[in-house]
A and B are shown apart, each in its own frame.
Chain A
Amino acid sequence: MGFRRYLAQKTAVYAITFLFAVTINWLLPRLMPGNPIEAMIESNLNLGPGEKEILIRFYEDLYGLNEPLWRQFVNFWVRLFHGDLGYSLLYKAPVWDLIRHSLPYDIVILLPAIALSWIVGNWLGAIAGKNRRYDRWMMPLFYFLASMPYFWFAMLLVYFIGVKLGWLPYQGAYDPSLVPGLNWEFIKSFLSHWILPFLSLFVVMIGSWAIGMRNMIIYELEADYVRYLEALGASEKLMTKHAYRNAILPQVTGLALQLGLMVAGAIATEIVFNYPGIGILLMNAALSQDYFLLQGAFLMVVISVLAANFIIDIVYAFIDPRVRASYTEG
């Protein structure tokens, strides 16, 4: 009983969710209007009258698009379990290779931005929640940060720091004249290109973490168990310690979800900085009806969001005895 059953139950729920999500993810691009093969051939020049039809048939055969929908669906699952996500119509490359090459760029920007903003935001939020004087001017600041659109703040950074002051580069992930490699010159170029997109995400994210933490701390400091500690002569430090431990639990959930969504990239930021991450890939795929690339990229999102949720469900059973108690009882 207990944990084993909880684990089995969660696994089953997540397996079903996975099947549904992937099916919808497969179906949706096919419901979009227009025909991607025709769009692709239009752009090729000087075709004779019969040649276009032959080409279309050739490509449809190649991608298996002339088969009935249910066959395509079966084929999709078979290929998926062989690790084959298909072939991108737009980039003329295997989808998996495209994703594999873009993902690291997202991770180096988003992982530190999410993790550091989480730490700083929780810290600032806790200070604001405990101290009314700080709270008075910090809360409006948090709300301002949290409601700034990512692209807007990114554009401010580009304009002022990149263009006006010329301190940092704001285009691409590294100097295009360099060949990527483990040498000092490349690393230096990569880091200087990294700072602005990182900042644009980090600063905006701080706001919402801080708001969440501030509200939780206020709620927890008012809780009965803190009043009891105080009545029994606990120091300010001990009360804060107990309250902070409980206030941070919902924030952990938020962190896990953000990390799960990391695979989707940061579309707005990547566009502003022309940063070669998954976000740009996704946008181009959507604009040119690249079924396979869209499907592949969304599949990664589905998997990582589900994985993050699953992990947090398990971790929660360890860090929050209330969750553990609820499944051992029921």
Chain B
Amino acid sequence: MSLLEIRDLKIYYRTPRGPVKAVDGVSFDVREGEVFGIAGESGCGKSTLVHSLILRKPPMFHAGGEAIFKGKDLMKLSEEEARKIRYTELSIIPQYAMNALNPTKKIKDIVWDLAREHGYEDRSEVEGLLRERLAMVKLSPKVADMYPVELSGGMRQRATMVVSTLLNPDLLIADEVTSALDVTTQRVVIELLHHFMEEGIVKSIIFVTHDLALLDKIADRTMILYAGKVAEIAPTEEMISSPAHPYTKLLLESLPKIGVRYKETKLNGIPGYPISLLNPPKGCRFYTRCPYVMDRCREEEPPLVEVGDDHYAACHLLGGENQ
């Protein structure tokens, strides 16, 4: 069962030199009960993609496609409808989770302000739930009565995770939540997200990261984005054991390995830089950096084809003649 169906979604940024096509015709599903990983390098559109589901503020705008969430197209909701869905059904743990809570308000006041906006009437019930959840993430229930400034960075991170999931959203977006953390805290975060799923607090999670090694630990399926397009979607284990797209292969090879020293062996990287999204080439977006580039790649955009069970990739090497 799909909780979220994205069909040919296009999210652009308006600039004086024309639209920047940050997300350009992306399609995927997020199924109920799964952790869906989205990976890619900086500027590939992964953050734009997930943020557009929640809030599109100028210069970001919706240029086409649909995002069907529980039967409703998120791109067509009125402002008030969209506001009501946020938090109660669709929530986010932001990249800046450590600084996401207003420093001059008690955590219970922040939560109550938000819950009231979503029609909750019983303050003690909301606060009771907050204390319960804080205890669940191994924070003292007293944290509810504290100001965010009185907590350490790691505690604030966990408190934000509790706040974001308090109203049991169906879909939780975790946007680069582990990027700024040390590995110990990363593990805590991953375990908590896993716990939220097990307890049925959230039905599905979209986990956005640039760290492929981390996705291996948490994501059931993973999507690799490159320059605003889908490169590959596959169950995570299969993606790592047998990547189909040249970009995925190169990404996996470029993961730093213990015991390899930069002085002796150069780190494996992908030569070149991502293309400009202001005026992308009409062919495959990866051809400028691809070691297997063919003439066809420059002219024709490769379609997403099924290369294995539940495994899709977009590359001319994998066949997929024009349907």
Report which A residues bind B (CB closer than 8 A).
Answer: 224-225, 227-235, 238, 241-242, 245-246, 249, 320-322, 325
Q: In whole angstroms, how far apart are the Cα atoms of A325 and B55 in the complex? A: 34
Q: Does B296 contact A (CB under 8 A)?
A: no
Contact status of A235 and B83, CB under 8 A, knowing A228-B94, A321-B147: yes
Q: Does B96 contact A (CB under 8 A)?
A: yes
Decide: B104 and A224 in contact? CB cutoff 8 A: no
Min CB distance B231 to A, Å, is 27
Q: How large is the interface on B (under 10, 10 to 19, 20 to 34, 35 or more residues)?
A: 20 to 34
Which of B101, B102, B117 gathers most chain A CB within 10 Å?
B102
Decide: A233 and B103 in contact? CB cutoff 8 A: no
Tell me which of A229, A234, A246 contacts B104 (CB under 8 A).
A246
Q: Does B47 contact A (CB under 8 A)?
A: no
- Chain A residues within an 8 Å CB radius of B92: 231-232
Min CB distance B259 to A, Å, is 39
- Chain B residues within an 8 Å CB radius of A245: 104-105
Contact status of A228 and B100, CB under 8 A, knowing A233-B114, A234-B117, A242-B105: yes
Min CB distance A219 to B, Å, is 14
- Beyond A229-B102, A229-B114: 5 further Cβ-contacts under 8 Å? A232-B92, A233-B86, A233-B114, A234-B117, A321-B104
Q: Does B118 contact A (CB under 8 A)?
A: yes
1/0 per residue B35-55: CB within 8 Å of A?
000000000000000000011
- Chain A residues within an 8 Å CB radius of B102: 225, 229, 242, 246
- Chain A residues within an 8 Å CB radius of B91: 232
Which of B87, B88, B101, B149 gathers most chain A CB within 10 Å?
B149
Q: In whole angstroms, how far apart are the Cα atoms of A235 and B88 in the complex? A: 14
Closest chain A residue to B169 by CB distance? A232
Decide: A320 and B94 in contact? CB cutoff 8 A: no
Min CB distance B54 to A, Å, is 5
Query: From residue 73 to 129 of chain B, which have CB atoms closer than 8 A to chain A?
Result: 83-88, 91-92, 94, 96, 99-105, 113-114, 117-118
- In the assembled complex, 25 residue pairs joining A and B whose CB atoms fall closer than 8 Å, in A order, are A224-B96, A224-B100, A225-B100, A228-B96, A229-B113, A231-B92, A232-B91, A232-B163, A232-B164, A233-B84, A233-B85, A233-B86, A233-B87, A233-B114, A233-B117, A238-B113, A245-B105, A246-B104, A249-B104, A321-B104, A322-B103, A322-B104, A322-B149, A325-B149, A325-B150
1/0 per residue B112-156: CB within 8 Å of A?
011001100000000000000000000000000001011000000
Decide: A232 and B147 in contact? CB cutoff 8 A: no
- Chain A residues within an 8 Å CB radius of B114: 229, 232-234, 238
Q: In whole angstroms, how far apart are the Cα atoms of A23 and B88 in the complex? A: 64
Min CB distance A232 to B, Å, is 4
Q: In whole angstroms, how far apart are the Cα atoms of A230 and B149 in the complex? A: 21
- Chain A residues within an 8 Å CB radius of B101: 225, 228
Closest chain A residue to B115 by CB distance? A232
Min CB distance A323 to B, Å, is 9
Report which B residues bind A (CB closer than 8 A).
Answer: 54-55, 83-88, 91-92, 94, 96, 99-105, 113-114, 117-118, 147, 149-150, 160, 163-164
Min CB distance B52 to A, Å, is 12
Q: In whole angstroms, how far apart are the Cα atoms of A232 and B103 in the complex? A: 17
Tell me which of B86, B147, B149 contacts A231 (CB under 8 A).
B86
Min CB distance B101 to A, Å, is 6
Tell me which of A227, A235, A321 contacts B94 (CB under 8 A).
A227
Min CB distance A217 to B, Å, is 15
Min CB distance A44 to B, Å, is 64
Decide: A225 and B99 in contact? CB cutoff 8 A: yes
Closest CB pairs A-B (n = 8): A233-B86, A321-B147, A228-B100, A232-B87, A225-B102, A325-B149, A233-B87, A224-B99
Decide: B94 and A224 in contact? CB cutoff 8 A: yes
Contact status of A230 and B55, CB under 8 A, knowing A321-B147, A325-B150: yes
Tell me which of B85, B100, B117, B164 contacts A238 (CB under 8 A).
B117
Closest chain A residue to B116 by CB distance? A238
- Chain B residues within an 8 Å CB radius of A321: 103-104, 147, 149-150
Min CB distance A229 to B, Å, is 7
- Chain A residues within an 8 Å CB radius of B87: 232-233
Contact status of A320 and B55, CB under 8 A, knowing A224-B99, A238-B113: no
Q: In whole angstroms, how far apart are the Cα atoms of A233 and B96 in the complex? A: 17
- Chain A residues within an 8 Å CB radius of B94: 224, 227-228, 231
Q: In whole angstroms, how far apart are the Cα atoms of A321 and B102 in the complex? A: 11
Q: In whole angstroms, how far apart are the Cα atoms of A249 and B160 in the complex? A: 24
Contact status of A231 and B54, CB under 8 A, knowing A238-B117, A321-B149, A325-B149: yes
Q: In whole angstroms, how far apart are the Cα atoms of A27 and B243 in the complex? A: 83
Q: In whole angstroms, how far apart are the Cα atoms of A238 and B85 in the complex? A: 17
Q: In whole angstroms, how far apart are the Cα atoms of A224 and B105 in the complex? A: 14
Decide: A235 and B117 in contact? CB cutoff 8 A: yes
Min CB distance B275 to A, Å, is 29
Decide: A233 and B104 in contact? CB cutoff 8 A: no
Decide: B99 and A233 in contact? CB cutoff 8 A: no
- Chain B residues within an 8 Å CB radius of A242: 102, 105, 113
- Chain A residues within an 8 Å CB radius of B164: 232
Decide: B100 and A233 in contact? CB cutoff 8 A: no
Min CB distance A112 to B, Å, is 29
Min CB distance B250 to A, Å, is 33
Closest chain B residue to A232 by CB distance? B87
- Chain B residues within an 8 Å CB radius of A234: 113-114, 117
Decide: B104 and A325 in contact? CB cutoff 8 A: no
Min CB distance B260 to A, Å, is 37
- Chain B residues within an 8 Å CB radius of A228: 94, 96, 100-101, 160
